């Protein structure tokens, strides 16, 4: 995991020097994850490829501005999110929930556990979640981003991310429990 | 299986639930890389064209200084050709300095981060102001009638570049020195730790 991060950082540095082979390697490494994320937030299949294309072109164009290469994953997802929003020419409407008690409950009590065998069920359940919840939980599963990183990617407050993550985890937890009982 | 390995396996399996279709993916990559190649090529062409245009303009100004009958104009055109070349050299030196500073920042980042960026910002602002002022002086010197006065003004215009021509190479040399020291320190630490372990 740590080795992957270091080699990603090296690839980013090479890309900043306009190394085409490094960019190709970066695309090969990150495309499946990015595709999975975009498929969860973009409805149409053809639009996914358009957003992906736009995202990678923006990455290539602005990668020199990325000061810390270790922050590449969060930066990449932030670009993908912004491209999605701008492609549809509107802010994706999310349900705004900032219930402090619920956030505290999530921080102090709620532990979401899943087994590796449940991956197929989780994948199917993701489709049933609301877009806002699906986006944060996908970022959480794929990259294990912190609350502040997710807030930066999506462009909302940390409280909003916490509450969305709480709802998404709670819904998945309930659904997984239901699936187990059946 | 450790928790970390479990997580990696989980992510792999999750992505495998909805992988990008191979045909579509290869078509997408081909288009993307073609566009990227075109952008790299365009960047190189723009850089090359700017370089050629600046040199041509400077050379044209130099030729004009040879062919004009007016002494003041001759001095001014010669100064203009040097003025263009010297500021182009400063820009080039600045790019080298920035590249070295970014390398040092990414390699060691001990206090160098804010420091060099603030200094660079300050020097760049001063350079822009000096460049603008020198342009005005040079423009005005064309309308002078006294060749002595004109040579005095144009000498001042050219002297304004001297500070920057010295500043950037010295800055770059100091950064290279820092990088070399850090490298030596790292080398010594590696030797010490390998001696200790042996």
CA distance A122 to chain B (A): 8
Cα(A79)–Cα(A36) distance, integer angstroms: 15
Between B49 and A113, the more confident residue is: B49
Q: Which residues in A lie closer than 8 A to residue B13 (C-beta atoms)? A: 116, 119
Read out DSSP for A11-40? HHHHHHTT-HHHHHHHHHHHHHHHHHHHHH
The sign of the CA dihedral A2, A8, A11, A16 is: negative
Name the average pLDDT for chain A: 80
Q: By C-alpha distance, which of A32, A85, A88 is closest to B24?
A: A32
Contact between A123 and B20 using a beta-carbon 8 Å cutoff: no
- In what helix (H) or strand (E) does residue A74 lie, and over which residues does it extend? helix A72-87
Q: Which residues in B lie closer than 8 A to residue A141 (C-beta atoms)? A: 10-11, 14
User: Which CATH number describes the domain made up of A100-181?
Assistant: 1.10.10.10
Tokens of B46: 């723009």
Comparing CB atoms, the residue among A27, A61, A142 nearest residue B29 is A27
- In what helix (H) or strand (E) does residue B86 lie, and over which residues does it extend? helix B71-108
Tokens of A87: 């492609």
What average pLDDT does the segment B128-152 reach?
Answer: 92
Cα(B62)–Cα(B81) distance, integer angstroms: 5
Place of tokens 């072109």: A57
Q: What angle do CA B172, B173, B177 make, to 5 degrees?
A: 115
CA distance A141 to chain B (A): 7
What average pLDDT does the segment A2-26 reach?
Answer: 85
- A2-87: which CATH topology? Rna Polymerase Sigma Factor; Chain: A (1.10.1740)
Share of chain A above pLDDT 70, in %: 81
Q: How many CB pairs under 8 A join A and B?
A: 68
pLDDT in tens, B60-87: 999 998 888 889 999 999 999 999 999 9
Contact between A1 and B8 using a beta-carbon 8 Å cutoff: yes
**Chain B CA closest to residue A35:** B20
Contact between A119 and B17 using a beta-carbon 8 Å cutoff: yes
Residue A89 banded pLDDT, cuts 50, 70, 90: low
Are A20 and B40 spatial neighbours (Cβ–Cβ below 8 Å)?
yes
In the prediction, which pLDDT does B198 show? 42
CA distance A116 to chain B (A): 6
CA distance A3 to chain B (A): 13
Give A168's Cβ-side CA count (13 Å radius).
25
Q: Range(s) for CATH 1.10.10.10 in chain A?
A: 100-181
Q: Which residues in B lie closer than 8 A to residue A39 (C-beta atoms)? A: 18
Are A114 and B11 spatial neighbours (Cβ–Cβ below 8 Å)?
no
Tokens of A2: 């740590």
Q: Where are the domains of chain B?
A: 1-67, 70-198
The structure's pTM equals: 0.69
Cα(A175)–Cα(A167) distance, integer angstroms: 12
Are A87 and A51 spatial neighbours (Cβ–Cβ below 8 Å)?
yes
Torsion of CA A10, A11, A16, A22, to 10 degrees: 150
Q: Range(s) for CATH 1.10.1740.10 in chain A?
A: 2-87
What average pLDDT does the segment B126-155 reach?
Answer: 93
Are A122 and A176 spatial neighbours (Cβ–Cβ below 8 Å)?
yes
Judge whether residue A91 has pLDDT over 50: no
Q: Which residues in B lie closer than 8 A to residue A36 (C-beta atoms)? A: 14-15, 18
Question: What does DSSP assign to residue A44?
Answer: S
Are B60 and B80 spatial neighbours (Cβ–Cβ below 8 Å)?
no
In the prediction, which pLDDT does B46 show? 93
pLDDT in tens, A118-173: 788 888 888 888 888 888 888 888 888 888 899 989 888 888 888 888 888 888 88
Contact between A57 and B20 using a beta-carbon 8 Å cutoff: no
Contact between B7 and A57 using a beta-carbon 8 Å cutoff: no
């Amino acid at each position: 995991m740590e080795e992957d991060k270091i080699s990603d950082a090296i690839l980013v540095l090479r890309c900043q020097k306009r190394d085409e082979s490094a960019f190709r390697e970066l695309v090969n490494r990150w495309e499946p994850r990015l595709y999975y994320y975009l498929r969860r937030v973009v409805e149409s299949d053809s639009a996914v490829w358009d957003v992906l294309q736009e995202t990678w072109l923006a990455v290539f164009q602005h990668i020199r501005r990325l000061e810390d290469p270790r922050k590449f994953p969060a930066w990449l997802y932030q670009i993908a999110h912004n491209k999605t929003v701008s492609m549809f020419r509107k802010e994706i409407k999310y349900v705004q929930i900032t219930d402090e008690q619920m956030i505290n409950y999530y921080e102090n009590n709620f532990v979401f556990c899943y087994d590796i065998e449940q991956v197929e069920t989780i994948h199917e359940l993701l489709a049933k979640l609301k877009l806002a919840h699906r986006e944060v939980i996908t970022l959480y599963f794929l990259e294990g981003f912190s609350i502040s990183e997710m807030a930066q990617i999506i462009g909302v407050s940390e409280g909003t991310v916490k509450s969305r993550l709480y709802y998404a985890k709670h819904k998945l937890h309930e659904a997984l429990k239901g699936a187990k009982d059946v | 299986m450790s928790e970390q390995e479990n997580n990696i396996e989980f992510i792999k399996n999750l992505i495998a639930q909805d992988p990008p279709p191979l045909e579509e993916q290869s078509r997408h990559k081909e288009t993307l890389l073609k566009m990227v190649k075109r952008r790299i090529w365009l960047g190189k062409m723009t850089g090359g064209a700017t370089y050629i245009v600046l040199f041509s303009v400077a050379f044209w100004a130099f030729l004009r200084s040879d062919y004009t009958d007016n002494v003041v104009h001759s001095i001014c055109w010669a100064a203009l050709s040097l003025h263009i070349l010297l500021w182009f050299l400063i820009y080039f030196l600045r790019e080298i300095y920035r590249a070295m500073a970014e390398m040092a920042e990414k390699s060691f980042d001990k206090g160098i981060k804010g420091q060099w960026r603030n200094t660079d910002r300050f020097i760049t602002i001063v350079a822009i102001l000096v460049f603008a002022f020198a342009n005005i002086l040079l423009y005005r010197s064309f309308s002078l009638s006294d060749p002595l006065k004109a040579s005095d003004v144009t000498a001042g215009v050219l002297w304004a570049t001297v500070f920057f021509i010295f500043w950037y190479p010295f800055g770059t040399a100091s950064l290279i020195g820092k990088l070399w020291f850090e490298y030596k320190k790292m080398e010594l630490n590696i030797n010490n730790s390998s001696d200790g372990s042996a």
